[in-house]
Amino acid sequence: MSLVVVGLNHRTAAVDLLERMTVASTALPKALHDLTGREHLAEVVLLSTCNRTEVYARTTRFHDGVDDVRHFLADQSGVDPDLIGEQLYTYHDDAAVAHLFGVASGLDSMIIGEGEILGQVREAWSAAERESTVGQFLSRTFRHAVEVGKRARTETGIGRHAVSVSSAAVQVAAERLGSLEGRRVLLLGAGDVGEGMAMALSGAGVGEIVVANRSRARGRELASRVGGRAVPLDDVLDVLVSSDVLLSSTGAPGTLVERADMEEVMRRRDGRALLVVDIAVPRDVDPGVANVFGVMLLDIDDLKAVGEQSLQNRRAEVGKVRVIITDEIDRLRMERLAREVAPLVTSLRERAEELRQSELDRHSSKLSALDPSTRDMIDQVTRGLMNKLLHEPTVRLKDAAGSARGELYADALAALFALEDLPTGEDPPMPDAEG
């Protein structure tokens, strides 16, 4: 079996394709089961954020498994699989692990070192566990990825003073207006990204923060934390008439503010300009709003300049994180190799012990005539001889595990000692992964 990741992100695809590919949290269970229902996908985790949609899978056949994922993504986006091929990346085995570790560490984010992605990786893994679309293989890999993400932020400065996507949106808004001090800001969406924007706004000296959210309770709770006020979604257009900035980040499946709505808002504003920063994927605001007179519309693509500056500030830390990732890939590989050979070594020793006991039993009538100390000595001598004979093959097998030579050793050992019924190359049964 192979580990593969197939996906696209902010570097390989424009926002319009990203939003078509996005899987909403409410649609995630169905999508996961759709994937695992395909012939060559044994385990699956689906990571879908505003910057990426990626499928991590354990495949039964590499190329066929990749095709299964490509066709799923094509179905998801409604785009011909041949047309999205150039915008998809595919990594397998160690390269797939390295990519996942880089994602969890914030190296693959638009804003290098941002912390939101680690929680998103953890939640994608948890969702797959809830839907039982992962087994021990992917669960161990994702648990290790979360550990790598934590280690990268603890042992390097990659996350120090990091700019998140939400704070970058506020930063871009402040730069376009010169300052947010005294401005009235309408915040559309009170999820994790919306919360991050609210926290950033609270330190920017804004005059008022108004929060609109599908869940009124969540909206009121966030508004109270930043000294703002909450309004229902139905009041968004009325609030926009007196606002200076709209920051939008909901997880809604379709647009919430249409061009015709914005044209009516601008007629009521008496010519006052309005800044709209829509970082939702899929977008909350109709792209046609950019053509409405007096409206400046920015989206997730406009945050890339902030990401480039973040990369410049953290370039020295990127190398340190990559060293950690390399170390952790080696550690994961060694752990996996040890699990692969452990059942064979155990079976070999059990087989040898069976033969030793069988010989002792065959001569039991003669051994019974000996005094207990002599019988014990014979038991110890035969056990010691067995251990010495098995020591060198065991060491050589463990040292060669995972290589072509190791596979030859394992196959020969299984055949010579009648261990053919033992499955090799698979993980032995392990306790269920923790969530």
Neighbours of 114 (CB within 10 A): 23
Q: Under a CB-based contact definition with an 8 Å cutoff, are residues 274 and 294 in contact?
A: yes
Q: Going edge to edge, which strands form the sheet with 41-48?
A: 41-48, 52-59, 2-9, 89-92
State the Cα–Cα distance between residues 53 and 66, nearest whole angstrom: 15
Q: Is 50 in the active site?
A: yes
Cα dihedral sign for 332, 336, 339, 344? negative
Residue 266: beta bridge partners?
Answer: none
Q: Under a CB-based contact definition with an 8 Å cutoff, are residues 177 and 183 in contact?
A: yes
Rama region for 114: left / alpha / beta (φ>0; ψ in -120 to 50; rest): beta
User: What is the SS3 assignment for 3?
Assistant: strand
Catalytic entry in 50, 69, 124, 295: 50
DSSP sequence for 323-384? HHHHHHHHHHHHHHHHHHHHHHHHHHHHHHHHHHHHHHHHTHHHHTTS-HHHHHHHHHHHHH
Rama region for 106: left / alpha / beta (φ>0; ψ in -120 to 50; rest): left
Count CA atoms closer than 13 A to 184's CA, side-chain side: 10
Three-state SS for 144-161 is HHHHHHHHHHHHCCCCCC
State the Cα–Cα distance between residues 212 and 150, nearest whole angstrom: 33
Number of H helices, E strands in the chain: 16, 10
Which distant-in-sequence residues (6+ apart) come within 8 Å of 105 by Cβ? Answer: 148, 149, 152, 153, 158, 321, 324, 325
Nearest to 211 by CA among 200, 223, 201: 223
Which distant-in-sequence residues (6+ apart) come within 8 Å of 22 by Cβ? Answer: 48, 50, 53, 281, 282
User: What is the SS3 assignment for 5?
Assistant: strand
Which distant-in-sequence residues (6+ apart) come within 8 Å of 408 by Cβ? Answer: none
> What are the residue ranges of helices labelled H in 178-303?
192-202, 216-225, 236-240, 259-268
Strands 41-48 and 52-59: antiparallel
By annotation, the residues acting in catalysis are 50
